[in-house]
Amino acid sequence: MNEQRLAEARAWMRQDPDHETRDELAAIVTKAAGGDPAAAADLDDRFRTRLAFGTAGLRGELGAGSNRMNRVLVAQAAAGFASYLRERAHGGTPTVVIGYDGRRNSRVFATDSAELFAGAGLRAILLPRLLPTPVLAFAVRHLGADAGVMVTASHNPPNDNGYKVYLGGSDHGSQIVAPADAEIAAAIQQVADAGDVGALPRSTAYETASEDIVTAYIEATAAVAPAPTGGTGMTWVYTAMHGVGWETLSRILTRAGYPQPVVVGEQLSPDPTFRTVSFPNPEEPGAMDLAFERARRAKADFILANDPDADRLAVAIPDASADGGWRRLTGNEVGLLLGSRAARAAAGNPEASLACSLVSSPGLAAVAAHHGLGFHETLTGFKWISRAPGLVFGFEEALGYLVNPETVRDKDGISAAVAILGLAAEARGRGATLATLIAELGETYGHFASGQVSVRVDDLSVISNVMLSLRTLPPASIGSHAIASAEDLLQAGPGQASGDVLRYRMPDGSRVIVRPSGTEPKLKVYLDARAESAEQASKAVADLEAGVRALLEERS
């Protein structure tokens, strides 16, 4: 057994304030020191690197070690972030707001952070209870704070947690981007190198925000799309996916005048075990099965689903051709519905623009052009989308929508739900449905179809090997589609979006984009096509999907 690794583990145990992770690590150390190869490998995995702090903050599996989410790592992150904020404030007293969701250890990590921020001389404000991520993003702007921290792993597996960071001031409450991420990471590393987190100053003199902050978010979000006078007559189903969205959304519905939904009771309250789903992400197969069942019984008009921290929204509609009679709309379909809504409202404003990430539907550019608005294509992530000039709406195909940029500069599944309710009520008023609105999108802006191939791996080297293979031996075609041009965004020039992304364009306007996920062990491939009819566009995407699967099998 590597003696240095054992020494690192024992030093970690000495500073760990959590008896569970101390005991967990002690058992592994004992076995590894005794020559157990599995324990030695486990120890190496936990300490061979640090869980990286980047533009998504921290996110990873709970457990002991520098390559896991735990109280030691969070203490180092909080102290390092405090140091960064003090330096950025040039002698002032920075204010930081801390929120948390219902995952395991979220409240503990949030309280640790509040005590460490206060101990470092910052004004620390802890939100009053577990709340959706959009409420924290709102609070940063509403309170004029210098920064915000949200303890959440969003829709990751149950044993994950994370640490998402926002900046106020000139960043307007957006998530961090370079060079702030590297600067914060360097400050965190300095704390880690100094040793014992138990020596860091702590204080219980942090503030707990009043309910007024939640009420302010509710008022602002209810104003996104108030219900029409006389009611809507709609029947719809809602699931919180075992997360924190329901209480806040329910209050907003009352304030905005919408009927309360038929709820999926088994998934309504926060539950860190996510007991009814194998993966708490509305995009994953099976995650919405209970909602589909409830909707069939209720003869509902549509389904809305938030992910566990309520920053994403899924929408499903009745569809006789789908298995079970219900179909979840793609993020691109919802994005174009909401984009069209925003574009109609902003028409005539020469400063207004729409934005989406480069992996999202090119249909949003057609919507912007149709209404005479600006359009911006960004790198993946709302840290980029939220910074688009003149933004009135932004979206990403992974069920993320920014519909109220003057209130929340991040994806917000609750305000997006209110906007969808407004569209559904408007459609119902003229005898139409959400399905009607989707068909009208094609008639107005052109027929776009999209798809995705997502490959989850246990070994991240598989992803890097596939990306290397595609760069070294570029494919000439995908399915029956010849490749007209290929772009490697790692080779992007000055001022251009750059990243680990490969983009292939076909002569008919179709495109395929390949990239590693930034938050999960997945390789993601995005497919987009435009055609004269919805059927032709869907057929083109199906052919691309078959070609991509064959290509990945060949290169894996």
Kindly report, residue by residue over 397-451, the tens digit of the pLDDT: 999 999 999 999 999 999 999 999 999 999 999 999 999 999 999 999 999 999 9
3-class state of residue 56 by DSSP: coil
Strand 447-456 relative to strand 477-478, pairing: unpaired
List, in order, residues 6 or more apart from 332 with CB less than 8 Å away: 360, 361, 363, 397, 448, 450, 528
C-alpha count within 13 angstroms, C-beta hemisphere, residue 468: 7
For the chain, domain boundaries: 1-48, 55-210, 213-445, 447-555
Q: Report which residue type is found at 32.
A: A
CA-atom Rg of the chain in angstroms: 24
Q: Report which residue type is found at 143.
A: L
Whole-number Å distance between alpha carbons of 340 and 345: 9
List, in order, residues 6 or more apart from 363 with CB less than 8 Å away: 332, 336, 441, 445, 446, 448, 530
Give residue 521's pLDDT band: very low, low, confident or very high (50, 70, 90): confident
**Mean local confidence (pLDDT), 456-471:** 92
Residue 101 token pair? 């969701």
Give residue 238's pLDDT band: very low, low, confident or very high (50, 70, 90): very high
On whether the CB atoms of residues 104 and 92 are closer than 8 A, the answer is no
C-alpha count within 13 angstroms, C-beta hemisphere, residue 142: 21
The CATH homologous superfamily to which domain 447-555 belongs is Alpha-D-phosphohexomutase, C-terminal domain (3.30.310.50)
Burial class (CB in 10 A: 0-12, 13-18, 19+), 111: middle
**Mean local confidence (pLDDT), 449-464:** 91
- Residue 414's closest CA among 424, 403, 406? 403
CA angle 30, 33, 35 (to 5 degrees): 115
**Mean local confidence (pLDDT), 506-526:** 89
Q: Is 269 a catalytic residue?
A: no
pLDDT in tens, 12-66: 999 999 999 999 999 999 999 999 999 999 999 999 999 988 777 899 999 999 9
- Lowest mean pLDDT across 319-323, 343-347, 517-521: 517-521
Q: What pLDDT shows up at residue 178?
A: 87
CATH number assigned to the domain covering 55-210: 3.40.120.10
List, in order, residues 6 or more apart from 432 with CB less than 8 Å away: none
**Is the CATH number 3.40.120.10 carried by domain 213-445?**
yes
Give residue 495's pLDDT band: very low, low, confident or very high (50, 70, 90): low
**Mean local confidence (pLDDT), 5-17:** 95
Catalytic residue among 113, 154, 415, 510: 154
Q: What pLDDT shows up at residue 1?
A: 58
Give residue 509's pLDDT band: very low, low, confident or very high (50, 70, 90): confident
**Mean local confidence (pLDDT), 202-217:** 98
Residue-averaged pLDDT of the chain: 94
Helical (H) or strand (E) element with 417: helix 413-429
3-class state of residue 356 by DSSP: strand
Q: 55-210 and 213-445 share one CATH topology?
A: yes
Give residue 517's pLDDT band: very low, low, confident or very high (50, 70, 90): confident
Whole-number Å distance between alpha carbons of 94 and 81: 11
**Mean local confidence (pLDDT), 460-487:** 93
